[in-house]
Amino acid sequence: MIEIENITKRYGDNTVVDTVSMTVEPRTITVIVGTSGSGKTTLMRMINRLVEPSEGMIRIDGADNRSIPGYELRRHIGYAIQGHGLFPHRTVAENIATVPTLLGWDKKRIAAKVEELLTLFQLDPAAFGPRYPHELSGGQQQRVGVARALAAEPNILLMDEPFGALDPVIRAKAQDDLLAIQKHFGTTIVLVTHDMEEAFHLADKIAVMDKGRIVQCAAPEEMLVNPATDFVETLIGAEERPFRLLSIGTAADAAEAGEAQGEPIAASVSQREALSSLLWSGREALPVVGADGASLGRVTLAGLARRAARPQ
């Protein structure tokens, strides 16, 4: 759990983050969105004290984050950034081993961890471990960057526009991987982005920042229904609302009892994708199947239309 209390950051006369308070629940994903210069990155960097606050306090699992030196704090908080920041003079394995080495783990434990993470991120340890970062593709580098952040099994992972440098196809895959990893480790994630699509796809809670303040912090559905200010409404994009609403839930949630003909839809895809498949196939309904292939019922155009409508 991360508790942020009345945190403020000033550079000279310029207040970048202005008395912000918020709480991040354990094992959730909180996405901070805002325009550039809104202070979202600074707010996140105060959690691991890459930036020292001017006023206020941040507690991590109940303890003031200033109770230990900054560098020790950062060894226990994962940190992944845009453009990955991999050390070019170290191999992939050495990069991932960075924090465990700083923490003084023994060699065997480090090697095992590196192998586990590489496998988890679908990179063959024998092939990729000894390579240097510049020998990897952008998507692979990004995965190694996240693997490095997770190497010391942190409870908390901070991510600063982690997918910003990726092309759309790889980005979608990286986002899905992140969701899977978060489930796997139960990590608390705080992610900064300016991509609303990404925010709605990933977030349990979205915090919208504007001019150094949090204007709304709420679950995605809540934010769609009751945007706190005009700014939030503009950021969401009025014409996108029904689709954003659909992109929050999965096809499994929308499944109704009944049969349908046609190419089945996977239970894990978003309702938005399900709608897209329905429209493209020209059918009123399509079957939904689980990962094991068992039928879960069907999704219908009418059913999705009801879900996309403004909740009463």
Residue 68 in the binding site for other proteins (CB under 8 A): no
Using an 8 Å Cβ cutoff, are 163 and 171 in contact? yes
Strand 285-289 to strand 265-266: parallel, antiparallel, or no bridges (unpaired)? parallel
Beta bridge partners, 218, equal 206
CB of 86 to other proteins, least distance (A): 7
| Cβ-Cβ contacts under 8 Å for 237 (sequence gap 6 or more) | 196, 244
Q: How many residues bind other proteins (CB under 8 A)?
A: 30
Partners of 33 in beta bridges: 193, 208
132 binds other proteins (CB under 8 A): yes
Q: How far is the CB of 140 from other proteins (least distance, A)?
A: 14
What is the Cα–Cα distance from 254 to 265, expressed in whole angstroms? 12
Q: In whole angstroms, how close is the CB of 145 to other proteins at the nearest point?
A: 8
Q: Which stretch binds other proteins (CB under 8 A): 83-91, 247-255, 272-280, 293-301?
A: 83-91
Q: Is 92 or 289 the residue whose CB approaches other proteins more closely?
A: 92
Give the HSE-up count for residue 170: Cα atoms under 13 Å, Cβ half-sphere: 13
Cα(25)–Cα(13) distance, integer angstroms: 33
According to CB under 8 A, which one of 11, 35, 37, 102 is a site residue for other proteins?
102
**Smaller CB distance to other proteins: residue 13 or 239?**
13
- Chain positions 191 to 230 lying near other proteins, rule: CB under 8 A, are none
89 binds other proteins (CB under 8 A): yes
Residue of the chain from 12, 62, 88, 104 that contacts other proteins (CB under 8 A): 88
Q: Cβ atoms within 10 A of the Cβ of 62, count?
A: 7
Q: In the complex with other proteins, which residue's Cβ is closer, 161 or 210?
A: 161
How far, in Å, CA of 65 to CA of 274, rounded? Answer: 44
Residues at the interface with other proteins (CB under 8 A): 48, 50, 71-77, 79, 81-89, 98-99, 102, 132-135, 145, 148-149, 158
